Amino acid sequence: MSHSVKIALYAFLAVGLLLCTWGFLNRFHGSTDVPPEDPVPPTEEPVPAEKRDGTGAMMAYGALALVMMVGLGLMIAYDMSRYFAAKTEEFIFADGGEGARDPDYDEAEHVWANGEYLDAIQLMRDYLKRHPSHQFAALRIAEIYEKDLGNHLAAALEYEQILQQRLPAERWGWSAIHLANLYSGKLGKADQAEALLRRIINEYGQTAAARKARERLGEPEPAPRVAPPPGGPQDDASHLPPGFRPKKG
């Protein structure tokens, strides 16, 4: 969903919720403060109470307000979850802000801010040669290729190089998720994306990245392992030589 469409949908739901709530409250107060009515002539058919006090309209407004509220709540929950996931991922990749405290890396970011993307990439490569363990610089290079230069193939090659490094499990997994997104999106390599997601699951199955990979593949979370109760038959036989079983009875 594009940003403009999302804003329009937010505005529609918010305005709709306000209008429906106003209509519900207006009908509600009208139904609880009805002036005395003239007696109904015996020759006329009595008007149902729901039509006299507007209960039907009130219930319709209430139902619409509920639908608008649920829709708005779902959109807010979805966007909040994506926001916090992005912040968590950013924290995982940030290396505690090491680059932000390094003057050389600060210079590269300053050059990037001036729109000199290729020069910034070169400075980050130089920085990475001096500090090979600071892989956040490599991730930043991949991000510049993808978002600023629109070169998705170059970004994918950078991520492929990153995955060859010895990284913590979570960082490796999220880097692989980024690469899988490029494979399945702009590069049109769905098979490679699926293979990479399965590798995350098989090699780093306990990470948050693996949960994301299972979600992308539509696979359920594995059931938690339950340890066997102590004192069972295997425990009784664990001290016996191979081929012997405990005597029964």
What is the tens place of the pLDDT at every residue in 182-231?
999 989 999 999 999 999 999 999 999 999 999 999 988 887 666 555 55
Average pLDDT, stretch 144-173? 94
Instruction: Give 113 or 35, the one with higher predicted confidence.
Output: 113
Q: Whose structure tokens read 């529609």?
A: 12
Most confident range, picked from 32-41, 165-174, 238-247:
165-174
Quote the mean pLDDT of the chain.
Answer: 79
Tell me if 158 sits within 8 A of 125, measured CB to CB. no
Burial of 173 (0-12, 13-18, 19+ CB in 10 A): buried
Q: In whole angstroms, give the CA distance from residue 241 to residue 49.
A: 87
CB count in 10 Å sphere of residue 99: 20
**Spans of all domains in the chain:** 3-33+53-83, 96-217
Q: In whole angstroms, give the CA distance from residue 132 to residue 124.
A: 11
Integer CA distances (angstroms), 199 to 68, 119, 185, in order: 41, 34, 18
In this model, does residue 83 exceed pLDDT 70? Answer: no
Integer CA distances (angstroms), 128 to 143, 166, 224, in order: 15, 15, 40
Q: Identify which of 139, 125, 217 has the alpha carbon closest to the alpha carbon of residue 179.
A: 139
Q: What is the pLDDT of residue 57?
A: 78
**Two tokens at 198?**
């399965």
In this model, does residue 152 exceed pLDDT 90? Answer: yes
Q: Percentage of the chain surpassing pLDDT 70?
A: 70
CB count in 10 Å sphere of residue 146: 21
**Two tokens at 93?**
């990749």
Angle at 158 between CA 172 and CA 188, to 5 degrees: 90
Among 2.60.40.1080, 3.10.310.40, 3.40.50.300, 1.25.40.10, name the CATH number for the domain at 96-217. Answer: 1.25.40.10
Q: Looking at the chain, how many residues does it have? A: 249
In this model, does residue 248 exceed pLDDT 70? Answer: no
Entry pTM: 0.52
Q: Whose structure tokens read 């494979």?
A: 183
Tell me if 167 sits within 8 A of 175, measured CB to CB. yes
Q: What is the pLDDT of residue 173?
A: 93
pLDDT range class, residue 53, cuts 50, 70, 90? low
Q: What is the pLDDT of residue 60?
A: 84
Q: Percentage of the chain surpassing pLDDT 90?
A: 42
**Two tokens at 177?**
């998720």
Q: In whole angstroms, give the CA distance from residue 25 to residue 22.
A: 5
Q: What is the DSSP letter of 101?
A: G
CA 157 to mean position of chain CA atoms: 25
In this model, does residue 240 exceed pLDDT 80? Answer: no
Q: What is the pLDDT of residue 222?
A: 81
pLDDT in tens, 14-44: 888 888 888 888 877 766 655 555 555 555 5
3-state secondary structure of 15: helix
Q: What is the pLDDT of residue 100?
A: 45
